[in-house]
Structure 1
Amino acid sequence: MSKKRVVITGLGQVSPVGNDVGTAWQNLLAGVSGIGAITHFDASSVACRIAGQVKDFDITQYISSKEARRMDTFIHFGIAAALQAIADADLDNIAGLDKTRVGVNIGAGIGGLPSIEETARTMIANGARKINPFFIPSSLINMISGHVTILKGYQGPSYGMVSACTTGAHSIGDAARLIKYGDADIMIAGGAEAAICEMGVGGFAAMKALSTRNDDPATASRPWDKGRDGFVMGEGAGVMVLEEYEHAKKRGARIYAELVGFGMSSDAYHITAPSMEGPALGVTRALNDAGLNPDDIDYVNAHGTSTPLGDVNETNAIKLALGEHARKVVVNSTKSMTGHLLGGAGGVEAVYTAMAIYTQKSPPTINLFEQDIEAGCDLDYCANEARDMQIRAAISNSFGFGGTNGSLVFKRFEN
Structure 2
Amino acid sequence: MENGRPAAYITGIGIVSPIGVGRETFWRAMLAGESGAGPITRFDASEYAIRIACECNDFDPKDFVEKKAISRIDRFTQLGLASSKLALEDASAWGFLESTPERVGLVLGTGLGGVGSMEDTQGTLDARGPSRVGPFAVTKIMPNSGAANVGIMLGVQGPSAAPALACACGTDAMGLGYDLIRRGDADLVICGASEAPLTPTIVGGFISMRAMSRNNDAPEEACRPFDSGHRGFIIAEGSAMVILESEASVERRGAEPYAKITGFGRTTDAFNITDPDPEGRGIYRAMKLAVDSAGLDGSEVGYINPHGSGTPAGDGPESHAMARINPNVAASGTKSTLGHSLGASGAIETVITTLAVKDRTLPPQRNLAERAEDCAELDYIVDEPKEAPDLKAAICANLGVGGHNAAVAIERA
TM-score range, shorter chain: over 0.9
Separation of aligned partners in 1, 2:281 and 2:258 = 31
Residue aligning to 1:241: 243
Separation of aligned partners in 2, 1:278 and 1:257 = 26
Separation of aligned partners in 1, 2:120 and 2:358 = 42
Q: Which amino acid aligns with 1:347?
A: A
1:166 partner SS: helix
Separation of aligned partners in 1, 2:363 and 2:65 = 32
Residue aligning to 1:208: 210
In the TM superposition, 1:312-351 aligns within 5 A as: 312-320=316-324, 322=325, 325-326=326-327, 328-351=328-351
Q: Which amino acid aligns with 2:371?
A: Q
Residue aligning to 2:222: 220
Q: Which TM-score applies when normalising by structure 1? A: 0.96
Mean Cα deviation higher: 141-150 or 328-337: 141-150
Residue aligning to 2:408: 408
Separation of aligned partners in 2, 1:94 and 1:163 = 30
Q: Which amino acid aligns with 1:59?
A: P
Residue aligning to 1:116: 118
**Are 1:281 and 2:285 counterparts?**
yes
In the TM superposition, 1:1-400 aligns within 5 A as: 2-94=4-96, 97-275=99-277, 276-320=280-324, 322=325, 325-326=326-327, 328-372=328-372, 374-390=373-389, 391-400=391-400
What is the CA-CA distance between 1:257 and the residue it aligns to?
0.2
Q: Which amino acid aligns with 2:257?
A: I
Q: Quote the RMSD (CA, aligned, Å).
A: 1.4
Q: Which amino acid aligns with 1:120?
A: Q
Separation of aligned partners in 2, 1:96 and 1:248 = 17
What is the CA-CA distance between 1:377 and the residue it aligns to?
3.8
Per-residue CA deviations over 1:87-110 (Å, capped at 9, x if unaligned) read: 111111349842211010101001
Per-residue CA deviations over 1:231-275 (Å, capped at 9, x if unaligned) read: 100101011000001111121101000100010000011111111
1:165 partner SS: helix
Q: Which amino acid aligns with 1:392?
A: K
What is the CA-CA distance between 1:149 and the residue it aligns to?
2.0
| Aligned residues of 1:303 and 1:397 also touching (Cα < 8 A) | yes
Separation of aligned partners in 1, 2:357 and 2:375 = 28
| Aligned residues of 1:311 and 1:377 also touching (Cα < 8 A) | no
Per-residue CA deviations over 1:267-295 (Å, capped at 9, x if unaligned) read: 01111111111101101111111111101
Per-residue CA deviations over 1:6-40 (Å, capped at 9, x if unaligned) read: 10000011010111111111111001000001111
Relative to structure 1, the CA distance from residue 336 to residue 92 in structure 2 (aligned partners, 3 Å threshold; closer, same or farther) is same
Per-residue CA deviations over 1:300-357 (Å, capped at 9, x if unaligned) read: 011000111211111012123x1xx32x211011101000010000111001111111
Separation of aligned partners in 1, 2:84 and 2:97 = 20
- 4+ residue segments displaced more than 6 Å: none
Separation of aligned partners in 2, 1:339 and 1:69 = 27
1:305 partner SS: coil
| Aligned residues of 1:146 and 1:159 also touching (Cα < 8 A) | no
Q: Please, which runs of 5 or more residues in structure 2 have no aligned partner?
A: none
Over the matched positions of the two proteins, sequence identity in percent amounts to: 38
Separation of aligned partners in 2, 1:3 and 1:151 = 32
Relative to structure 1, the CA distance from residue 163 to residue 96 in structure 2 (aligned partners, 3 Å threshold; closer, same or farther) is closer
Separation of aligned partners in 2, 1:151 and 1:118 = 24
Separation of aligned partners in 2, 1:376 and 1:394 = 20
Q: Which amino acid aligns with 1:157?
A: P
Q: Which TM-score applies when normalising by structure 2? A: 0.96
What is the CA-CA distance between 1:111 and the residue it aligns to?
1.1
| Aligned residues of 1:282 and 1:406 also touching (Cα < 8 A) | yes
Per-residue CA deviations over 1:149-182 (Å, capped at 9, x if unaligned) read: 2222221012211000001111111111011011
Separation of aligned partners in 2, 1:148 and 1:110 = 17
| Aligned residues of 2:109 and 2:193 also touching (Cα < 8 A) | yes
1:300 partner SS: strand
Per-residue CA deviations over 1:118-137 (Å, capped at 9, x if unaligned) read: 11111111111111111111
Mean Cα deviation higher: 378-387 or 400-409: 378-387
Separation of aligned partners in 2, 1:192 and 1:94 = 24
